[in-house]
Amino acid sequence: MIFALAALSGAASGQVAGDAAAGLGKTRMCVGCHGIQGWRTAYPEVYSVPKIYGQHPAYMVKALQSYKSGERAHPSMRAIAGSLSDQDMADLAAYYGVAAPTVAKK
């Protein structure tokens, strides 16, 4: 139900509708940094990697488009976003907009 609502919200605004289930299959490029709680990276400088789970899908799509166009200048994100289609961006945004990270319990 939540996945369907996320897809419908994109369709209503005239943007590409995201599919959260498809987005799950596209997270390989994201989880290496954004999937580690408290992760800090050292390239191009030391900073805490932002949380993306629960972000508003429209914000995520706009951010990815800004990296792809060069409006946002982070080199790693620019390269990753440059490889994404509009559909990929919408799918990832739909997934991260409703998903919560799963933590394995021991």
Which of 13-27, 28-42, 56-70 is least confident? 28-42
Instruction: Go through the domains of the chain in sequence order and give each one's CATH number.
Output: 2-98 (1.10.760.10)
- Mean pLDDT in the chain? 81
pLDDT at 57 over 70: yes
**66 φ/ψ angles, rounded to the nearest 5 degrees:** -65, -40
pLDDT in tens, 78-87: 999 999 999 9
Structure tokens at 13: 């605004």
pLDDT in tens, 2-27: 444 444 444 445 678 999 999 999 99
Give the β-pairing of 40-41 and 47-48: antiparallel
DSSP secondary structure, 33-93, as one string: HHTSTT-EE-SSS-EEPPP-TT--HHHHHHHHHHHHHTSS--HHHHHHHHT--HHHHHHHH
Of residues 39 and 92, which shows the higher confidence score? Answer: 92
- What pLDDT does 32 receive? 84
Structure tokens at 33: 């940094």
Question: Is the whole model's pTM more than 0.95, yes or no?
Answer: no
Question: d(Cα 106, Cα 91) in Å, to the nearest integer?
Answer: 31
Structure tokens at 55: 């972000």
